[in-house]
C-alpha cells in the first residue's frame, strides 16, 4: 500500500492552508496570553479572503472575554443574552469591525463571532479577543473540543479538504464516529471473545485503508506511451477540459502536466508525461527522465497506444515496462492498424470522445475494486494504518501482557493517535 505523508493527508498541512502561507494567520499576529487563560479561540473558517469569517471562543470565561471586547449596537452585553440570540455590534481597535456575536452554549460556555472575511478583519477581531484574555488556538484544537476524540477531530478537518463529494461522504462518517465505533467494537471483541475476534475487526479497517488514505491525497494516475499516440489529448478528454497543449509534432510534451479529476467520485491526479523514446536533445531527455520517475511513483499507469498505426518496438517496450497495467487503444475513430483484443486494450477516441466513459469506469474499478460500505470505519491518515498494523501484530500473537488491548482502549477512548511513552505501542 502506497501511503502518502501524514503532512499531505493532514488538513493542517493542506493545500488550502499552504496557499495562504504568505499571509500571517491571525493567531500568529497576536501575543498569546498565559496558559491560565479562561477561554480559547480559533478561526474555524478557511484562511484567506471571503465574505464572512467565523471565530469560536470556548471555555469557562468565553462569554466574559467576548463581552469585554464586544460593543453592542443596543444596550446589554452578551452575559444577559439568551442562547442563540444574534447580537450586532463591533469588535476591534478604533472603529473596529462590525460583527454578529451569539452565545451558542452556557454549559460549557461557547460564543461564536461572525466578522468580515479576510486576514485584516479577522486579525482585528482576534487581537481584541486575545487582549480580553482569550488564548489563540489552531482549528485542530477547536475540532478536538467539538468532536470529543482526536480521530473525529482529524476527520472534521480533513472533511474541509475533501476534493469530491464521495470522499466527503466517507470522511463525514468518520467525523460522526464510524472509525471510533469500530475501535470500540474491536476492544469489546478482545475483552469478550479474545484477541482473535479483535483481529478480524482490525483486518476490516486495514482493508479499507487503501481507499481512506487517498480521500484527500488523490490517487496518482500517469499516462505512458511513445510520442504522438495522443496522451495529451486523452488527458484533456479525461479531465473534461483543455489542460495540456496538443500538437501533431511528436515530443510536444516535455514536462509533467498534471490535472485534478474525479473517476466515479474518487479524487484523481492525472499526469501527462513526455513520450518515451531515445531523446533527441537534452531538454527532451530530461522530460523522459521525469516521465519515468512519475510513472514509478504512480498508483496506476495507463498505457496509451495508437490504434491507427502498427505497433512499434517502443509500444512493446512500454507494455513490457508496465505488465498488468490498463491499456487504451487511442484514435479508434480512425481506420485500425491492429485489433485491440491482441493486447486486451480498451478502444477510445480522445479526439471524438468515443469510449471515454467506459475507460473512466475501468480506471475507477482498478483504483477502488470495492468501495467501503456506507457508515463503515475507514482509516484516512497513514499513521492510523501504522497503528492498526502494530495493534494487529500484537493481538495476533495473543497479546499475552495485554499491551495491545490497553493501547486500543486509549485510542478508542479518544486519547489520541500518538502515545506519550515510546515504550507503549504506537
Residue 151 burial (10 A CB sphere; 0-12, 13-18, 19+): buried
Interval 55-80 mean pLDDT: 92
For residues 91 and 53, the answer to whether their CB atoms sit within 8 Å is no
More confident residue, 204 or 289: 204
Interval 170-187 mean pLDDT: 95
Which residues have a Cβ under 8 Å from the Cβ of 241 and sit 6 or more positions away?
Answer: none
Distance separating alpha carbons of residues 276 and 210, to the nearest angstrom: 30
pLDDT at 9 over 50: no
Angle between helices 139-147 and 150-159 (to 10 degrees): 120
The pLDDT, as a whole number, for residue 293 is 66
The pLDDT, as a whole number, for residue 286 is 54
User: pLDDT class for 86, splitting at 50, 70, 90?
Assistant: very high
Sign of the torsion angle spanned by Cα atoms 179, 180, 184, 186: positive
Least confident of 150-159, 238-247, 340-349, 391-400: 238-247
Distance separating alpha carbons of residues 205 and 368, to the nearest angstrom: 15
Residue from 348, 271, 340, 332 nearest 311 by CA = 340
Give 219-367's CATH code, choosing from 3.50.50.60, 3.40.1280.30, 3.40.50.300, 1.10.3720.10: 3.40.50.300
The pLDDT, as a whole number, for residue 149 is 85
How much is the pTM?
Answer: 0.73
Residue 46 burial (10 A CB sphere; 0-12, 13-18, 19+): middle
The pLDDT, as a whole number, for residue 239 is 82
DSSP 276-332: -S--SSHHHHHHHHHHHHHHHT-SEEEEEEETTS---HHHHHHHHHSTT--EEEE-T
The pLDDT, as a whole number, for residue 189 is 94
Q: Is 269 helix (H, G, I), strand (E, B) or coil?
A: strand
Instruction: Tell me the percentage of the chain whose pLDDT exceeds 70.
Output: 79
Q: What angle is formed at CA 87 by the lines to CA 86 and CA 91, rounded to 5 degrees?
A: 130
Task: Give the chain's radius of gyration (CA, Å).
Answer: 27
Mean pLDDT in the chain? 82
Phi and psi at residue 116, to the nearest 5°: -70, 145
- Structural domain spans, the chain: 6-147, 150-213+378-412, 219-367
* C-alpha torsion 157→163→165→171, nearest 10: -30
Sign of the torsion angle spanned by Cα atoms 424, 147, 264, 296: negative
Interval 388-411 mean pLDDT: 91
Residues 190-224: tens digit of each pLDDT:
999 999 999 999 999 999 999 999 998 899 999 98
pLDDT at 11 over 70: no
The pLDDT, as a whole number, for residue 141 is 87
pLDDT at 58 over 80: yes
pLDDT at 234 over 60: yes
Q: Which three cell numbers stand for residue 67?
A: 463581552
Distance separating alpha carbons of residues 351 and 339, to the nearest angstrom: 19
The pLDDT, as a whole number, for residue 123 is 94
Residues 112-158: tens digit of each pLDDT:
999 999 899 999 999 999 999 999 998 888 888 888 788 998 999 89
Query: In terms of CATH, what superfamily is 6-147?
Result: Probable tRNA modification gtpase trme; domain 1 (3.30.1360.120)
Three-state secondary structure string covering 195-227:
HHHHHHHHHHHHHHHHHHCCCCCCEEEEEECCC
Least confident of 7-11, 164-168, 234-238, 269-273: 7-11
User: pLDDT class for 372, splitting at 50, 70, 90?
Assistant: very high
Amino acid at each position: 500500500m502506497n501511503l502518502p505523508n501524514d503532512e499531505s493527508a493532514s488538513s493542517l498541512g493542506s493545500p488550502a492552508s499552504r496557499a495562504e502561507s504568505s499571509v500571517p494567520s491571525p493567531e500568529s499576529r497576536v501575543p498569546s496570553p498565559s496558559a491560565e487563560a479562561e477561554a480559547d479561540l480559533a478561526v474555524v473558517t478557511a484562511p484567506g479572503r471571503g465574505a464572512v469569517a467565523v471565530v469560536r471562543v470556548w471555555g469557562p470565561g468565553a462569554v466574559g472575554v467576548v463581552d469585554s471586547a464586544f460593543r453592542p449596537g443596543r444596550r446589554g452585553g452578551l452575559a444577559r443574552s439568551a442562547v442563540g440570540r444574534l447580537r450586532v455590534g463591533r469588535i476591534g481597535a478604533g472603529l473596529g469591525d462590525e460583527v454578529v456575536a451569539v452565545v451558542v452554549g452556557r454549559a460549557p460556555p461557547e460564543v461564536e463571532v461572525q466578522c468580515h472575511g479576510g486576514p485584516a478583519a479577522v486579525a482585528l477581531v482576534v487581537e481584541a479577543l486575545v487582549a480580553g484574555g482569550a488564548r489563540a488556538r489552531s482549528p485542530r484544537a477547536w475540532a478536538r473540543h467539538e468532536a470529543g476524540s482526536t480521530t473525529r477531530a482529524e476527520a472534521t478537518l480533513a472533511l474541509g479538504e475533501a476534493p469530491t463529494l464521495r470522499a466527503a461522504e466517507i470522511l463525514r462518517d468518520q467525523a460522526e464516529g464510524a472509525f471510533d465505533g469500530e475501535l470500540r467494537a474491536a476492544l469489546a471483541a478482545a475483552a469478550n471473545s479474545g484477541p482473535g475476534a479483535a483481529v478480524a475487526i482490525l483486518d476490516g479497517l486495514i482493508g479499507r485503508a487503501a481507499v481512506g488514505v487517498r480521500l484527500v491525497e488523490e490517487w496518482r494516475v500517469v499516462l505512458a506511451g511513445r510520442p504522438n499516440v495522443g496522451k495529451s489529448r486523452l488527458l484533456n478528454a479525461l479531465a473534461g477540459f483543455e489542460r495540456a497543449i496538443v500538437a501533431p509534432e511528436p515530443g510536444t510534451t516535455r514536462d509533467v502536466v498534471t490535472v485534478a479529476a474525479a473517476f466515479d467520485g474518487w479524487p484523481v491526479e492525472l499526469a501527462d508525461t513526455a513520450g518515451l523514446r531515445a531523446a533527441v536533445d537534452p531538454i527532451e531527455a530530461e522530460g523522459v527522465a521525469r516521465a519515468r520517475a512519475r510513472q514509478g511513483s504512480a498508483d496506476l499507469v495507463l498505457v496509451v497506444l495508437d490504434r491507427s498505426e502498427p505497433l512499434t518496438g517502443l509500444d512493446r517496450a512500454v507494455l513490457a515496462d508496465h505488465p498488468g497495467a490498463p491499456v487504451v487503444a487511442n484514435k479508434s475513430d480512425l481506420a485500425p492498424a491492429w485489433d485491440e483484443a491482441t493486447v486486451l486494450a480498451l478502444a477510445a477516441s480522445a479526439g471524438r470522445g468515443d469510449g471515454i466513459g467506459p475507460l473512466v469506469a475501468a480506471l475507477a474499478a482498478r483504483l477502488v475494486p470495492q468501495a467501503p460500505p456506507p457508515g463503515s470505519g475507514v482509516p484516512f491518515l497513514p499513521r492510523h494504518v501504522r497503528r492498526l498494523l502494530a495493534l494487529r501484530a500484537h493481538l495476533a500473537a495473543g497479546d499475552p501482557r495485554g499491551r495491545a488491548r490497553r493501547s486500543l482502549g486509549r485510542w478508542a477512548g479518544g486519547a489520541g493517535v500518538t502515545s506519550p511513552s515510546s515504550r507503549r505501542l504506537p
